[in-house]
Amino acid sequence: MRPLTQLRSRTAVLPYENIDTDRIIPARFLTTTEREGLGRHCFTDWRYLADGSENPAFELNRPAAKGCGILVAGRNFGCGSSREHAPWALLDYGIRAVLSNEIADIFRSNALKNGLLAIVVSDAEHRWLLEHPGSELVIDVAGGFIELPDGGRFGFELDAFARHCLLQGVDQLGYLLQQEEAIRAHEQRHEAAA
């Protein structure tokens, strides 16, 4: 993973609550054995009409939403399955950050491991973001704040370890492999007892 310190982009808004992972990437595209190339199926059932053309009514198809790297979504974004294909699809589609007032646990963990910023903001901040699509924001990972177009700031919480991994591009598997001694000690303790 490459280090990620700051992200500057405009917001696109999907105001719906409980946008589940089947919505983000339907199961019929999960037969892939790769991580790449899922962006073309991202939000597919909202994004395309029955004849395969783009659905002009879908929020992310509107001209103003094109190229926006920050998605502002309704409460409980990413609920449902544990499929990591959901953050893979969003990243491949061009989304670098998701902001909501509640984000599902497994999705959030999967997203952060892939360098997709999944950030929870307060209800009031969420409301402002929903009401101001197209805002150019700066998300500062080190500082833990989002800078608004008028210079105002929304602070956000990010687990210290997740932040460290994002900033340094830390490979978490590498970190776990370094724990070998402690892992072996645990196995010896517990398997001897069994």
Site residues, another protein (CB under 8 A): 15-18, 20, 22-23, 26-28, 30-35, 45, 74-76, 79-84, 87, 102, 104-106, 109-110, 113-114, 159-161, 164, 172-173, 175-177, 179-180, 182-183, 185-187, 190, 194
Residue position matching structure tokens 């303790």:
189
Q: Name residue 181's amino acid.
A: E
Measured from the CB of residue 45, what is the shortest distance to another protein in angstroms? 5
* Residue (54 or 105) nearer to another protein, CB: 105
Query: How many angstroms from the chain centroid is the CA of residue 140?
Result: 15
Measured from the CB of residue 140, what is the shortest distance to another protein in angstroms? 20
* Residue (51 or 180) nearer to another protein, CB: 180
* Residue (27 or 152) nearer to another protein, CB: 27
Measured from the CB of residue 29, what is the shortest distance to another protein in angstroms? 9
DSSP 46-93: HHB-TTSSB-TTSGGGSGGGTT--EEEE-SSBTBS---THHHHHHHHH
Sequence length of the chain is 194
* Residue (153 or 163) nearer to another protein, CB: 163
- Cα separation of 170 and 164, whole Å? 7
Could you give the residue ranges of the DSSP H alpha helices within the chain? 21-24, 44-47, 85-93, 105-113, 123-131, 160-168, 172-177, 180-193
Measured from the CB of residue 135, what is the shortest distance to another protein in angstroms? 20
